[in-house]
Each structure stands twice: as C-alpha cells, then as structure tokens.
Amino acid sequence: MVSKMLKAFASEWASKPMPEDVLEVVLEPVLRYVYQEITSICVPTCTRVSRMARDDRMGDDHDLATYWYRFEQEGYPRVEDDRILWFEQTQKPCVAGLCKLPEDGCPLLKPDISLKNLENFLQIAKQIFCYRMNCWQKSQAEKAAANVSSD
C-alpha cells in the first residue's frame, strides 16, 4: 500500500508529473522513516547483524579514552553522539532472505534511500516487514497455545 501511494505521488500531482527535486524533498524523509522502522523490527532479533550506539560501547567508563575522567569531580563529559556501530557476521545466514551469498552485505548497513532506488528499497522493506510480521504472528500463536495448555 505504501509503495502504491508513493508511486502515485511520484508519478502525478494535479495531473502533472512531479519535478524530481520536489520529489526528493518530500519523499526522502518518508523513506528514511521507513528505513528506521524496518531496521527497528529486523536488527534486534537478527543473528547476522547487530548494532550498538557509541555510548553503549563505552559501558561503565572503563574505556581507556574515558578512564581518567573518573578522577575529576565533573566525571566524563557526556556528549550527544548518535553514531551507531554496526557488526555483520557474513558467515551467518540472513533469516529474512536478503543476503543470498556470504559476500552479499545486509542492505540495512548501506541503505540506498533515494528516488533512483525506490523500487529496490521498497522491495527490501516489504520483504523484511513480511518476514518479521510472520515471526511475530507465530510467536503470538505459540504464547496463546502455551496459555491454553497451562489452564
């Protein structure tokens, strides 16, 4: 449905083709939001890819870069840092079916979020969404069956 809506918007507006620069301004934030959503539903349970925020890596400030700050009254100066560290274990399979070969990288690691790649991006989003929705539905059915059998 989202794909059809985006294509309709991109192809015609008031019976005229939408200029590409206008499309970029309007649609790319929407595509970035879709990317964030599919990343949020796929990566947390992925066996191939994991990610970690910079502050998560720092843990309890035992990192050498922050070690000496523990002796200062102010402590470590926390800075808002939204960088993410991604890890990919290419020897593990992609359960969502995106990486057919070990050398195929996860498309979530190098997203091409552009109008030129709209079809491919939306296909990836659809594949992830369908697979993860199916997993969620199965887990809900298993929980329901467990609750029935325990009664």
Q: What is the pLDDT of residues 70-92, one digit of tens each?
A: 677 777 666 666 677 888 998 89
Longest C-alpha distance within the chain, in Å?
67
Are residues 30 and 102 located together in one domain of the fold?
yes
Mean of the per-residue pLDDT values of the chain: 80
44 and 104 inside one domain: yes
Does 76 lie in the same domain as 17? no
Number of neighbours of residue 83 by Cβ within 10 angstroms? 9
Q: Identify whether residues 146 and 99 lie together within a single domain.
A: yes
Q: Are 91 and 102 in contact (CB under 8 A)?
A: yes
Full DSSP string of 9-47: HHH-BTTBPPPHHHHHHHHHHHHHHHHHHHHHHHGGG-S
49 within 8 A of 28, measured Cβ to Cβ: no
Residues 57 and 122 in one domain: no
Domain identity same for 38 and 105: yes
Say if residue 76 is in the same domain as residue 145: no
| 66 & 138 share domain | no
In this structure, the answer to whether residues 96 and 44 fall within a common structural domain is: yes
Indicate whether 142 and 111 sit together in one domain: yes
Q: Encoding tokens for residue 47?
A: 């066996």
Place of tokens 């499309």: 23
**Owning domain of residue 33:** 2-48+91-150
Whether this prediction's pTM lies above 0.75 is answered by no
Q: What is the pLDDT of residues 4-16, one digit of tens each?
A: 766 666 666 667 7
Please check whether residue 99 is in contact with residue 106, taking contact to mean a CB–CB distance below 8 angstroms: yes
Query: What's the pLDDT at 61?
Result: 47
**The total number of structural domains that make up the chain:** 2
- In this structure, the answer to whether residues 98 and 72 fall within a common structural domain is no
Beta strands (DSSP E) in 1-151 are: 49-53, 84-88
Specify whether 143 is located in the same domain as 72: no
